[in-house]
Amino acid sequence: MCGRYASSRSPEDIVEEFEVLDPRLERAIPPSWNVAPTDEVYAVMERQPRNEAGEREGDPVRQLRALRWGLVPSWAKDDKIGSRMINARMETVAEKPAFRKAFASRRCIVPADGYFEWYETDRKGAKGKPVKQPFFITPEDGSILAMAGLYEIWRDRSVPEDAEDAFRWTCTVITTEATDALGRIHDRMPLLVDVASRAAWLDPLHEVTDLSALLTPAQQAGLTAFPVSTAVGNVANNGPELVEPLPLDAHPAGDDAQGTLL
């Protein structure tokens, strides 16, 4: 599962990295080192222009938009379901009713600095439960993480069609089973889109039949994982200090957990 991540890059950096031609932002999203479900996030996508009749035609254009994290299917009665749809499983994304239409033609990239997972340690807390140590998982070279995602547009029929918030744009991150080093921290991890696969993944006219041919499991993408402050567990906390590595003797996960290469 990917339930928290950091996103501090400027829209200009994202536009340059992902070769966006048509930024669709009313304003920049403030940097966040503790992005949580239902937060506003950046997403890169490609959409076909519309002609005078309102029909889509021509080559898709790459856009940058602000979406809410937590996909709301078009058929949902209300948008509360989005808080439970922050991740889509690779194994079922093409068939599950909540995601299959978006998977067919509304694929996107969710840019991130890195994401957080909690590692269950041998230590016991006040109530006898294992203490969980948060880890930050990020590209070793400092590049932007390109998480594979889907987006959807939900019509709120409780308001007029021309109302400001009549259409909600939401997204989800696709995950797969985690193995090897990353599996020690959590059993799921996001799928990533490498540079060579971006065009095919984002193209709404391209039929994706083999996810493994386009997407890369996080453990194969040159990432590093290190323990960070438990303060990230509270969504009220935010700031670059949340992604600062802890000293080797300051976390309960054991010395072998520091700087784990994935």
pLDDT tops 80 at residue 219: no
Q: Residue 186: its pLDDT value, please?
A: 60
Which of 46, 117, 152, 171 is the catalytic position? 117
Active-site annotation holds for 95:
no
Closest to 205 measured CA to CA, from 73, 66, 105:
105
pLDDT tops 50 at residue 260: no
Which of 2, 46, 152, 171 is the catalytic position? 2
Q: Which domains does the chain have, with CATH numbers?
A: 4-117+140-215 (3.90.1680.10)
For the purposes of burial, counting CB atoms within 10 Å of the CB of 55, is it exposed (0-12), middle (13-18) or buried (19 or more)?
A: exposed
- Phi, psi for 165 (deg, rounded to 5): -110, 30
Q: Is 154 left (phi over 0), alpha (psi -120 to 50) or beta?
A: beta
Distance between CA atoms of residues 220 and 60, nearest Å: 30
How open is the CA angle 47-168-143, to the nearest 5 degrees? Answer: 60
Structure tokens at 46: 């490609």
Q: Is 165 left (phi over 0), alpha (psi -120 to 50) or beta?
A: alpha
Report the pLDDT averaged over residues 71-100.
Answer: 94
pLDDT tops 80 at residue 119: yes
pLDDT tops 50 at residue 223: yes
Report the pLDDT averaged over residues 78-103.
Answer: 94
CB crowding 60-97: b at 16 or more within 10 Å, else e: bebbbbbbbbbbbbeebeebebbeebbbbebeebeeee
Q: Residue 153: its pLDDT value, please?
A: 96
Active-site annotation holds for 2:
yes
> What's the chain's average pLDDT?
89
Q: Residue 253: its pLDDT value, please?
A: 44
Q: Is the pTM of this model over 0.75?
A: yes
Q: Do the beta carbons of residue 18 and residue 12 sit within 8 Å?
A: no
Spell out the residues 6+ positions from residue 220 whose beta carbon is closer than 8 angstroms to its own.
none
Q: Between 241 and 78, whose confidence is greater?
A: 241
pLDDT tops 90 at residue 258: no
Q: How confident is the model at residue 250 (pLDDT cuts 50, 70, 90)?
A: low
Report the pLDDT averaged over residues 70-99.
Answer: 94
Report the pLDDT averaged over residues 47-67.
Answer: 91
